[in-house]
């Protein structure tokens, strides 16, 4: 009996910890679609959106793009630069 109660408690805690809080979402914003210098990309993303800038390879175009991954309090994507 104690084992099943413990299992139910662990399951409940796991489910509650996965439930999203508020309307926060994760957005991807392409800051430079043609090139990427990692330090500059990270700095620009942090300054503009308080996010993380990464160089992502675009297989269709054959180059790296600076992409910013940032949280948002709304469901709208930030306006393009």
Please, what are the averages of pLDDT over each run of 10 residues along the chain (81 residues)?
58 52 75 97 96 95 96 57 51
Would you say 50 and 42 are in contact if contact means Cβ atoms under 8 Å apart?
no
69: number of Cβ within 10 Å = 15
pLDDT at 79: 53
Cα distances from 22 to residues 15, 18, 50, 74, in angstroms, run 16, 12, 18, 9
Determine the Cα–Cα distance for residues 55 and 42; give it in Å rounded to an integer.
9
Q: How many domains does the chain have?
A: 1
Task: Confirm if 53 and 64 have CB atoms less than 8 A apart.
Answer: no
- Please check whether residue 9 lies inside any domain of the structure: no
CATH of the domain at 52: 3.30.30
pLDDT at 60: 92
Write down the pLDDT at residue 25.
81
Query: What's the confidence (pLDDT) of residue 75?
Result: 43
Closest by alpha carbon to 26, among 67, 81, 79, 75?
A: 75
Residues spanned by the domain of 53: 23-73
Please report whether residue 30 resides in a domain: yes
């Amino acid at each position: 009996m104690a084992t099943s109660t413990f299992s139910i408690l662990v399951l409940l805690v796991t489910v509650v910890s996965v439930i999203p809080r508020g309307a926060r979402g994760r957005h991807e914003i392409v800051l430079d679609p043609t090139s990427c210098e990692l330090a500059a990309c990270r700095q620009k993303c942090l300054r503009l959106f308080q996010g993380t800038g990464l160089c992502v390879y675009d297989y269709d175009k054959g180059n790296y793009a600076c992409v910013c991954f940032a949280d948002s309090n709304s469901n709208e994507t930030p306006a393009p630069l």
